[in-house]
Amino acid sequence: MKLLITGGSGFIGSNFIRYWLQTHPDDQIANLDALTYAGNPANLADLTQNPNYSFVHGSITDPEVVRQAMQGIDTVVHFAAESHVDNSITNPLAFVQTNVLGTAVLLEVARTAGVKHFHHVSTDEVFGTLQQTGQFNKTTPYDPRSPYSASKAGSDHLVRAYYHTYGLPITISNCSNNFGPYQFPEKFLPVMIINLLQGKKIPVYGDGSNIRDWLDVTDHVRGIEAVLQKGKAGETYLFGGGTELSNLQLAKKVVQLMGKAEDSIEFVTDRQGHDWRYAIDASESTKELGWKPAADFDTSLQQMIDWYKTNEKWWQEIQGRSSSARGGSLPTGKAGASGGKS
């Protein structure tokens, strides 16, 4: 099988590519990535000599680039997206351009190229916010509350429209907050880990009561693998880790694991339109795909902390590039709800 991965140099995309080539060594992967600030060639530097891996530098909004990248492709796995909620608040048009228009370009080229399976990776944030009880499932009405989640909701609707209108064989997955190695340093967990490594305080929005469901990135990748192997065209699958924690609970856990004091936590002004709680009901994915999260959260979190300790050069280089590109430092990551979806 020959796969085109969009956004493969990002967090989840690079983890997917590495996993897929390890478990499906006879398949070929082309990685289409514009290498914007969150796309990092270093994430896949170890694969540059792999004959089954190739890299295409370009934007998903460019039809000609997409047409060339999609030649001979059987399956598309679409990760590429602008994904940070804070950035969508300050620059919403960039999110519409990439997440909506970019997805439309991919779909149209996939339709004309006769792609056999188009899988679109989305987020639980399209469903809005939950209160104390309940979980998102695939019938939950869409209620996006940020420019980021609205742009992802728009892309979800386009993907479904191409199935119903043109018969393009699509699947969609919505996931909860991912975490793991290679996660970009602006996201909530990397911010906490890196700040503590640098002797800085860690910022938490509001009073830290906002709740997120955390999913090990490898479990998410395994879920996408199950969709590609067993999923039904036109269907949506949800993946969650089953680990709900308030942002303050998570911050205290990181502080404890890193041997720091709780006064390392500082509360900052809450985000505009901050969703209070996300939680996913993944029971249908378990029933239909045989998938369920396998990782132990505390073990995975410790492994992530250890990875950032061991790979200091990786995140320091990103901080240096971001400082030069933006004329200042990397965003402080005051992202108490930041999802790390891509």
- pLDDT tens digit string along 204-237? 999 999 999 999 999 999 999 999 999 999 999 9
Q: Which domains does the chain have, with CATH numbers?
A: 2-178+214-239 (3.40.50.720), 184-212+244-273+298-326 (3.90.25.10)
**Which stretches of the chain are DSSP H helices?**
11-23, 63-69, 85-90, 92-95, 102-113, 147-166, 188-197, 217-230, 247-257, 283-289, 297-310, 312-326
Active site residue 142: no
pLDDT band at 321 (very low <50, low <70, confident <90, very high): confident
pLDDT band at 334 (very low <50, low <70, confident <90, very high): very low
pLDDT value of position 324? 53
Sheet of 75-78, strands arranged across: 53-57, 28-33, 2-6, 75-78, 117-123, 170-175, 236-239
Alpha-carbon gap, residue 111 to 97, rounded angstroms = 20
The residue from 33, 53, 82, 148 that is catalytic is 148
The residue from 82, 86, 125, 186 that is catalytic is 125
pLDDT band at 83 (very low <50, low <70, confident <90, very high): confident
**pLDDT above 80: residue 328:** no
Alpha-carbon gap, residue 171 to 185, rounded angstroms = 30
The model carries a pTM of 0.93
Could you report the per-residue pLDDT of 136-176, keeping only the tens digit for each? 999 999 999 999 999 999 999 999 999 999 999 999 999 99
**pLDDT above 80: residue 335:** no
Active site residue 308: no
The residue from 124, 156, 216, 219 that is catalytic is 124
Active site residue 124: yes
